[in-house]
Amino acid sequence: MQRYFVKQRANENHFFINDEDRHHIVKVMRMQIGDQIICVDPEGNQAVCRLAEITDSSVVADVVQWKDEVSELPISITIASGLPKGDKLEWIIQKGTELGAHQFLPFSAARSVVKWDEKKAAKKIERWQKIAKEAAEQSHRAFVPQIVSPMSFKAMLAKSKDFHYKLAAYEEESRDGETSVFSATLKKIKKGESLLVVFGPEGGLADEEVQLLKDHGFGLCGLGPRILRTETAPLYSLAAISYHFELLR
């Protein structure tokens, strides 16, 4: 059943759907009065709805049944990625959303080949946010992850104080056989708490960045014995977090 994130709810019994989602319902899916969809409000409440009215500006959907199901991770995960080349960040956002990430925070790292262009910022972030929304709908999420505007490494360090726990994936730790920091941190985190995980771009984090991360209270962690690409490491971490908090329990 097709899922739509609705910005505001008319009342307990009706949703009004407009803009791109109205176009998708009418022009792409070619739905008719009586067809059913799932609507999700900004608080993450989900309901099976029946299309009651289709106008030139909106679609009215009547609530048939509220759904009581949990599809979100019990902890809030933010993925901080050093700006990678090409469309790798789009891949991280799409797949990371499917795996349960709460927020994505791109940053300019010392070894980032890509330089952030403020002139193109609005269009880039709009595209990334759309990718997250579509992935959240596909994977039956209750919330759409937020894409934070790319920032400097220094600004990312300052923002890190907002999180309960913070880790940085560092390939040298994997080479040295480190296996405990990541799993030990997951064992400490309680439901409702937040975790920031930092990943370097192609080429990894520079030595001076690693030292600054340590100075700001980050734990350096390996992700198994193999060295993962910048677009693979966040997905590995999210899968491991899901296994720890959802499948094991």
204: phi > 0 → left, psi -120 to 50 → alpha, else beta; which?
left
Angle, helix 121-138 to helix 88-98, in steps of 10 degrees: 30
Do 203 and 80 sit in the same domain of this protein?
A: yes
Do 54 and 176 sit in the same domain of this protein?
A: no
End-of-domain residue from the set 49, 67, 85: 67
Do 179 and 85 sit in the same domain of this protein?
A: yes
Strand, coil or helix: what is 149? coil
The pLDDT tens digits of the residues spanning 131-146 come to 999 999 999 999 999 9
- Tell me the chain's radius of gyration from C-alpha atoms: 20
Q: What is the pTM of this model?
A: 0.90
Rounded to an integer, the average pLDDT of 190-196 is 97
The pLDDT tens digits of the residues spanning 60-114 come to 999 999 998 888 999 999 999 999 999 999 999 999 999 999 999 999 999 998 8
User: Residue 182: pLDDT above 60?
Assistant: yes
Residues near 175 by beta carbon (within 8 Å), at least 6 away in sequence: 222, 227
Structural domain span for residue 152:
76-247
End-of-domain residue from the set 67, 98, 114: 67
Domains of the chain: total? 2
Of 115-119, 146-150, 228-232, the poorest mean pLDDT is in 115-119
Do 107 and 31 sit in the same domain of this protein?
A: no
Q: In angstroms, rounded to a whole number, what is the distance separating the alpha carbons of residues 42 and 4? A: 11
Do 60 and 178 sit in the same domain of this protein?
A: no
pLDDT > 90: percent of the chain: 80
Do 117 and 171 sit in the same domain of this protein?
A: yes
Do 138 and 232 sit in the same domain of this protein?
A: yes
Residues near 41 by beta carbon (within 8 Å), at least 6 away in sequence: 6, 8, 9, 15
Neighbours of 113 (CB within 10 A): 12
End-of-domain residue from the set 16, 44, 67: 67
* pLDDT score recorded for residue 178: 58
User: Residue 249: pLDDT above 80?
Assistant: no
Strand, coil or helix: what is 240? helix
Q: What's 87's domain CATH number? A: 3.40.1280.10
Q: What's 38's domain CATH number? A: 2.40.240.20
